[in-house]
Structure formats: C-alpha cells, structure tokens
Structure 1
Amino acid sequence: MLPATASSLVAQVRGTGPTFTATSPLTGERTVDVPSSTPADVDDAFAAARTAQRSWAALGVSRRAAVLLRLHDLVLDRQAEGLDLIQVEAGKARRHAVEEVLDTAINARYYARTAAKLLRPRRRTGALPVLTRTVELRFPVGVVGVVSPWNYPLSLAASEVLPALMAGNAVVHRPDPATMLSALWVRALAVEAGLPPALWQIVAGEGAAVGPLVVDRADQVCFTGSTRVGREVAAQAARRLVPASLELGGKNPLLVLDDADLDRAVEGAIRACFASAGQLCISIERVYVADRLHDEFLRRFVARTATLRLGVTGDFGADLGSLASARQLDTVTAHVADAVARGAVVHTGGRPRPDVGPYVFEPTVLTGVVPGMRMYAEETFGPVVAVYRFATDDEAVALANDTAYGLNASVFSGSGARGEAVAARIDAGSVNVNDGYSAVWGSIDAPMGGWKDSGLGGRHGAEGLHRFTRVKTVARQRGLGLAPAYHRPGEESAAWTRRMTAALRLLRRTGR
C-alpha cells in the first residue's frame, strides 16, 4: 500500500544527521528511513526561507492564491496516493483518512478565495470624522515555525502551513518523525503547483531535539500537541516575545439532553468517539445522558459500538483502524485497566486486538468511571469513552465544565434553540449541536481553538490568517489638531479644549 514514490519524498528533508526509521502501525514494519536535521541544517532552513520569503511577499495575493488553488486540484486528483500514505503511517481507517484529504483541499480553497479581502488595507474610524483618515495595514511576520503532530499528519500540517504561506510568509516545518510522509507529500504537490521550494522547508527529528531549534528561530510559532509540551513552547516563545498559537489536549464532553433524538445521538456519539480510533484532538471521551434517556441510550450505544468493524486494510471496509504506536496502545490499555481495577464496568470492548493489527484496540464503552481513575480526567486519546447520567441541564453543564480542558464539546437536543443555549454555557472553544465535531471543524469560515489548558489562538476563519500577520495603523490628520500647540497663550489652549469638548458632545448625539 506504500506508494512507490514514498522514498523519494524524503529527499525534501533538510537533514544531514543520522537517519531514523519510521514504521507502520498497520504492520509494525519499516516504511522509510529519514535523515535527521542538525542545528546547522535548521539554521540553513531558516536562512533559505528568509531569502525566499521576501520575493514571495512581494508577489501579491492573487498570484499566491493561484498556487493554492492549483494545490487544491492536485490534492483531490492524487487523493488515492495521499490516502495510502496516511493509512500506512498513521494507521487509521481509510474512511477517516479521507477527512484529512478533504480538509486540506478545503483549507487551500478557502484561503485562496478569502485572502485578498482579509489582507487588504482596511479603513478604520479616525479620531475625528473626516479630519482623521485611519488605515489598518497587514504584513507577513516573516518565517513561521510549524510543529505538527502524528495523529492527523496531513490535515494538521496543511491547516497551519497553507494560511501562513497565503499571508506572505515562509515556513520551516517539523512534522512528527513517525508521520513524515504525509507532510512531505503535500509539500511536493505544493511545489508542483508553483510554490517556490525554498518557501516550505522541512526539518526532521525528535521533538525534544529539533522542536526547540525551530521555536528559537521562528518569527511566529504554531504547535499542535500535548498541553505539557505546549507550555514549554509558549514559555520559549515568550522569552523571545514572538507570538505562539497552540492547539493542545482535550477531555471533550458530549451531552444528550432529555429531548434528543436517540438514533441521531447514538450515531453522532459513535462518530465523535471513534473517528481515527479516538486519536483526534476534538474527539469525545465523556458522554453525559439525561436520566430519562440514559438506560436506552447506553443499550443502543453499546450494541452499535459492538458492531464496528476493525481492520488495517487499504479499502473502505473497516470502521476503525489502528492506534498509531506501541506507546499509544500502552496508554489506552493502562487507562482501561486502571478504571476496571477501581470498579468501572466495561460494557463492550476493553482489549487490544493483536490478531487484527499490532496496535489495534477495541472500541470501548465504560460506566462507573469516577475521580481517582486515570481516565476520569486525563486524556486517553484512544477508542475509549465513559458514559454518565445527569438530572438537569444545569448539572450537565457543570459536569461538562469540570475539566482543565476546553477544546471541543457536543450537545444533542430536539430543540435547536435549547441545544444552542446549553452550548453557549460550555467552556470550550468549539461546541457542536446535534453533531460530534464535523459541524465546527467543517465551518472553516469560523475560528476554532481551545480554552483553558487546551491552547491559545486558533485556526480557520479570518483569525486563522490574521495570526500570521503583523498589524500597522497609519493615521493622517487634516485640519484641527488633536492637541493644543505648545508655547501658545493659555487662552488658546482653553479655547481648543472647548472646541474638542463640543466635538465630542456632537459625536455622542449623532451616535458616532
């Protein structure tokens, strides 16, 4: 299933250090050897990127947009190749790999179509109408450092890199070493679409070794990963006074209110909990169900979960694929074992399935998960969910908010107005009503990011582009000055004060 061109993709890496071997979670076997990047390699990557960025920024928005639109078409035309790469190196079912390809195309098209409007000079209200002409200007920050994760190796790379490029920046990108090929594939397509190769530099190596080198040299940092490492990235960026956007961990809740359509809620929860085997930052790990519906929801949800098909093949036959690594399998297994040892009940699943694949774990539903168990508050990041009951909407909101995280949430209700009202009370950067995660994720015109320990800033929408720019305000004053002249008689200052006071009162009366 590994495309014949896979090994040639590695030639894009700027690395002269020792090679490391990536393996496939589908089989545990070697996929490719990748050279690691030394500090000198990272220096060279930034130097080349800075030189290329000046010409790219001067090229103009429309010509940059043309590259992204050609990339959009290439991603869709070559999607089978991309799907193969994602499956081989991330282990997910093909139906979930499709999300990454589509998301990459959507990001390319959205920012190509909207960047001219979002980046153009914008008139702002001046200090004095007519007399003050104020304009907001946006400029690229320079070279953006992107550190992307293994769980969505194509989508989470493209959703950071593409808007950064569209804003006129260059990028130095360190993909996770376990899933280099997906990022290298889309980078190769971008070059084929007309992107100057030096603009998107790829460096490689373990995060603790190469990640800090990128953060130390970048003019803007984008990191997706754990909250623990995110804090370190934020602190490192803060010491240099460079901006950082961070998408971090989550312990995401789904609420089933007492007027919800059970069939829809069960299917929504299946998708929300088990997409990409639960290895999605915005996937659901906690389900809260109203007392009136709890028993029937649990019965249907368990029965439906038990029917999900496991597989590590390259077709669309599997509902769930593999976890990404032995380490991730160990974490998921330990969370379930700890919960069971402390009294939780497994209703379905709960076991590794080496007969299917080396890192496959069954989709698992538990009840009786309480404080003190690891999976009660820690992010499991696997196909494991705990189901709880609640009595009132107020209790449901309190339970949903009882976490250090605030990335994503979901509310199912038969009343759209009620669902939205409850959603507005949940402390999370994105909340879906009658959907698990796709409604927000697919609404690319709106920002998406975490609250609390789930991160800073966000991707998508205008914010997803503006974060890669610096803002300059230019204001030109005509006529009446905004301060009395120095070295003039006191009565002139008093007269100026009276005029300004009258002007402010007039603006108040005219609604300005």
Structure 2
Amino acid sequence: MNTITDALVARLCDRVSASTSDTLSTVEVFTGGTLAKVPRSSPQDVAEAVEAARVAQRAWANVAVADRIAIFERFHALVLEHSEQVLDLLQAETGKSRRDAFLEAASPLVTVGYYARKAPKLLASQRREGMMPLLVKTTELRAPKGVVGIITPWNYPFALAFTDLIPALIAGNAVVLKPDTQTALSTLFGVDLLYQAGLPQGLLRVVLGDGPVVGTAIVDTADYVGFTGSTRTGREIAARAGQRLVGCSLELGGKNPLLILADASLAKAATGAVQTCFSNSGQLCMSPERLFVHTAVYDAFVARFIEEVKRMNLTAAYDFSADMGSLTSRRQLETVSAHVEDAREKGATVLAGGRARPDIGPFFYEPTVLTDVTPEMLCYDSETFGPVVSIYRVADDVEAIARANATMYGLNASIFSKSIPHAESVAAQLNAGTVNINDGHVVGFGSADAPMGGMKDSGLGRRNGAEGLLKYTEAQNVSVQKVPLTTPPRWLPYGLFAKNMRALLRLFRKAGIR
C-alpha cells in the first residue's frame, strides 16, 4: 500500500505556478484509475515565474557557494529520511518496479555528493596565463546564466529533474522547471524537500502543462534551456533557442547497442543484459535495444538470456518483489505492441514475451526478445522505448562495431568481455557518448565525475562532471595590462618596435613560454 494522501497531493500542488482553475488528471499506473488532479499553467504563468525567478536569482548569486551547498546537504538528508514516500510516488506515477524506483531516488544523492565536493573549486576564479609573462595578469571568472529553464520527461521524473537542477542552482542560477504532467508529483515532492532544506522562496519555480504551450514559453524566456526527451522535440528546442542566441543542453533518443564479445562470461553477460535491457520496463534512454553477439558464443548466450528473461517476475506491487514493472501509459503500450506486431508480421521470431499482460495491470507488457529482425521492421532502427530487444549474430568485433554504429543515435553502448583491454579497445571505436563495460548503463551514469551525453542525434552538451556544472555559467576573461605592450612609446619607431617584438616572441618560443 502506498503512502500518497490527499493532503500530500494538495501540498505539492501548491508549489505549482498556476493562476487559473484548470487542472490536469494523472493516472495511478498499476490500476489505471485517477491518481491526482494537478494545476495547469498558462504561458502568462511561465512569464511571471521567469520574472519572479530572475528577481530571486540576483540575491542568490551573491550567496557564497559554501552556503548554497549547505542547503543541498540538508536536502540529501531529507531525501533519505522520506525515501519511502519518494518510492511510492515514483511507482504510482510511472509504474516502475520498486527496485528501479530505489535506483532512481539514489541518483540525485550522488549528484549532491559530487558537486558538494567539486563546485567550490570549479566556480572559483582561476588564474590563467596572460598574454606576456609578468606583464599581463589574466583571470577567468564564472558568472551564472540567470534563469535556467529545465524540461524533464516522465520516465525518470525525480532523477533527471534533480540531476539537472542541482548544479544549475549551485552555480548561482534560478530555475523554472517543467516536469511531465503525469509524473509531476514525484518531482514536486523533491522540490518541496528542497524548500524544506532552506532554498530561498521563489528561486525554483514549477509550471505544468502541454509541452508545445508551456515548454515553448520556457524556451522563449529562459537564459539557458536544459531538455531531456525526444530527438524531434530537441531539434525544435535547439532551433528556437538558437533564434534567441541562448544555449541549450539536450539529452535525446537512443537505439543503444550491447555487444557480447567472444571472450565474455556468458553467465554475467546474460544476467547483466536482462538487468539493463528491461530496467524501467525498457523506458530508459540508455537502455540497450540491439544485442550483437559473437557467433562463437551466440547459441549459448541466447539460451542463457532467454532462460533469465522467462524467470522475470512481473508484479503490480509497492514492494521489492517485482523484477520489472509496468509501462507508464497506454500510449507507450500501443507503441510497444505496434513494434512487436509489425516485426512478427514481417517475419521476426519471438523467442520470449510478445504480448500485453492486462491480467497484471492495464499497461503491463512482457519482456520481449526478437530475432530475424530486418531493416523494414519498425523496431530495427526506431526507438521502441519499451521492454523489447532484438538479437543479431555477428562474425567478429569488426562487424559488431560497424553494426552498432549504423544508427543515427549515439547515446549509450555496453560491452561484455573478460578482457578489459580488449573491451576498452572496442569501446574507443563506438560512436556513443557513454560506453559501459561489463554493465549496461548504471556505472556510466553513476560516475558523476565524467560527462554523460549523446553523439549524433542523441543530443548536445553533457550532464555530470565539470561540464554539467559549468554549462550553467558564463566564462569571463579579466586581463590586466601592467605596462603598455601593443603600442610603442612615441620616441620608438614602429618598425624597430615590431623587430624587437619578433625577437621576443622567438625567445619565448625557444624557452617554451609561448
């Protein structure tokens, strides 16, 4: 039984910037019934939220970085204290298993821990080499962008919202956040905890509504935009932001490959593939949908993999018993069903799964494994975003790499091999922003000191690492000339000045200075 009450819903909805009486209904995924009615924001609400956030940001920018971080340290403790409610909300709104909800809830804690350690140094002024040694002093300063607009999806409403907004706020910005309506309560709960931790009122504003209306209003007013979602929408945001000459960071779609090399441990590979392919019911931008298996181990791996898949427990329960939960919406169920039926009709073989499970819940679909998938099938190169994977036999590493790269996407890739040097040599040839070895996606995303993002049509920019913080800042070069360098004194002919400067530059080069 979950812990969501009417009083909790009402408190969270009070955090939404909405001036009208319009509401939007959300669904309790395991039952299909109404979970809550949440406020609908208007474009005017967005404009007012941005302006109010801009006022709050001016004061926040003058708060010491250590004092900003202290708020997030308290937030970290509050998330742990209220973790059961976080998990209940995530399950109710997304239908994911409690195991997946647990991993999601932990993600922002890793983000807080990393930036609490690293942000003070990253945001501090940095001495840089001046134009001339001793004669020019150059310093790099970091200033916040201002108001950051963040638009987050429904599949990871807690992890993705806070992984992005934590560094944005620590960098001195205000944030106007638009979570997906279906999963708004999970995000709002975290926002409420952040205010309980001491975040200044008005610095983080939440708006809700349809993406083309409310999302567009954010893109048209914010000083920087962060978006996680589809490649189609990402292109539109990039074009719109470009018209205003504001920056954006986009994590978009993926058709991620998983490579089983000839020297892989088949037991570990089969278990790891099941865990990553069907995590969050496959509704994960980093989840593999294409498995390329070396012919030497193909039959043995497939047998082990199918055995593991068929053992998976699907349950609509607010406990840790389920291996996999539900899809989040009827729309996702229809997309997954359409991809599988299209493949089946065009000659694909279904080795496991391949059907909806309304006996468990309205949007459940079995973990599904396909072979004999060909280019004319929808699931061949289009992102399914569900518990469906296709397996392909490959002759060697060269073929595996070529087929893995044969996609417009480049978000994540996975490799299983007993030889780390071998796997690392293969990883360097894959066109993916993140490559995980002997894991599907968790270790790459969880390594907060390294940037994470997409190549090709999978996005622009990176989250995590130094870039995940500094992208929310403007770099400023402050250079001090101690004596005149570029204009000779009146008594010195310019030709002689130029000759002396050339000699000085030659001397610097020989000395390794310039």
Find the counterpart in structure 2 of residue 205 from structure 1. Answer: 209
- Match 1:191 to one of 195, 201, 204: 195
Preserved CA contact (<8 Å) 1:219 1:243: yes
- 2:319 counterpart of 1:315: yes
Q: What is the CA-CA distance between 1:495 and the residue it aligns to? A: 2.2
**Paired position in structure 1 for 2:179:** 175
Question: Which residue of structure 2 aligns with residue 240 of structure 1?
Answer: 244
| Shift in Å, 1:42 | 1.1
Select the residue among 51, 76, 82 that pairs with 1:78: 82
Q: Give 1:2 deviation, angstroms.
A: 4.4
8 Å contact from structure 1 (residues 430, 448) kept in 2: yes
Q: 2:145 aligns with which of 127, 132, 141?
A: 141
List aligned pairs for 1:416-455, cutoff 5 A.
Answer: 416-455=420-459
Cα distance in 2 for partners of 1:411, 1:480 equals: 58
Q: Which residue of 1 aligns with 2:505?
A: 504
Alignment coverage as a number of residue pairs: 509
1:37-82 deviation digits (Å, cap 9, x = unpaired) = 1122112111110111011110110100000111011111111110
Letter of the structure 2 residue corresponding to residue 87 of structure 1: Q
Aligned equivalents of 1:254 and 1:70: distance in 2?
Answer: 39
Corresponding position: 1:98 with 2:98: no
| Cα shift at 1:511 | 2.4
Cα distance, 1:111 vs structure 2: 1.4
| CA apart distance, 1:370 | 1.0
Contact 1:65 1:113 in 2 (8 A): no
What secondary structure, in the 3-state scheme, does the structure 2 residue paired with 1:128 have?
Answer: coil
- 1:7 correspondence with 2:10: yes
Give the TM-score normalised by structure 1: 0.98
Could you say which residue in structure 1 is the equivalent of 2:125? Answer: 121
Moved over 3 A (4+): none
Alpha-carbon separation, structure 1, partners of 2:304 and 2:316: 26
Please give the secondary structure, in 2, of the residue aligned with 1:159.
helix
Report which stretch shifted further, 144-153 or 496-505: 496-505
CA distance in 2, matches of 1:312, 1:57: 45
Q: Distance in 1 between matches of 2:389 and 2:161?
A: 27
Q: Give the alignment of 1:241-280 within 5 angstroms.
A: 241-280=245-284
Q: 2:487 aligns with which of 484, 488, 500?
A: 484
AA of the residue aligned to 1:12: R
Q: Which is worse superposed, 1-10 or 326-335?
A: 1-10
1:132-158 Cα offsets, whole Å, 9 max, x none, are 211110000000001000000100100
Instruction: Classify 1:212/1:174 alpha carbon distance in 2 versus 1 (closer, same or farther; 3 Å).
Output: same
Q: Counterpart amino acid of 1:88?
A: A
Q: Distance in 2 between matches of 1:509 and 1:414?
A: 48
Q: CA deviation at 1:112?
A: 2.0
State the one-letter code of the partner of 1:347: L
What is the Cα deviation at residue 480 of structure 1? 5.2
Cα displacement (A) at 1:196: 1.1
RMSD value over aligned CA atoms? 1.1
* Equivalent residue runs for 1:399-414 within 5 Å: 399-414=403-418
SS at match of 1:134: strand
Alpha-carbon displacement from aligned partner over 1:247-269 (angstroms, at most 9, x marks no partner): 00000001111111111111111
String of CA shifts for 1:370-426, please: whole Å, max 9, x gaps: 101000000000011000111121111100000000000011111111101110110
Trace 1:242-391 onto structure 2 (pairs within 5 A). Answer: 242-391=246-395
- Write the letter of the residue equivalent to 1:130: L
Give yes or no for contact 2:43–2:213 (8 Å, CA) kept in 1: no
Partners of 1:138 and 1:470 within 8 A in 2:
yes
Q: Which runs of 5+ in 2 are unaligned?
A: none
Cα distance in 2 for partners of 1:510, 1:330 equals 68
Task: Report how far residue 107 of structure 1 moved.
Answer: 1.0
Q: 1:222 aligns with which of 221, 226, 236?
A: 226
Q: Does structure 1 conserve the Cα–Cα contact (< 8 Å) formed by 2:126 and 2:140?
A: yes
Amino acid at match of 2:175: V
Distance 2:95 2:409 in 1: 26
Counterpart-to-counterpart distance in 2, 1:218 and 1:400 = 37
On the 8 A contact 1:72/1:106 being kept in 2, the answer is no
Deviations 1:425-450 (A, max 9, x none): 10011011111001111100111010
TM-score between both structures, scaled by the size of structure 2: 0.97
**Any idea what SS the aligned residue of 1:244 has?**
strand
SS of residue in 2 equivalent to 1:427: coil
Once structures 1 and 2 are overlaid, which stretch shifts more, 464-473 or 98-107?
98-107
Q: Which SS does the other structure have where 1:292 is aligned?
A: coil
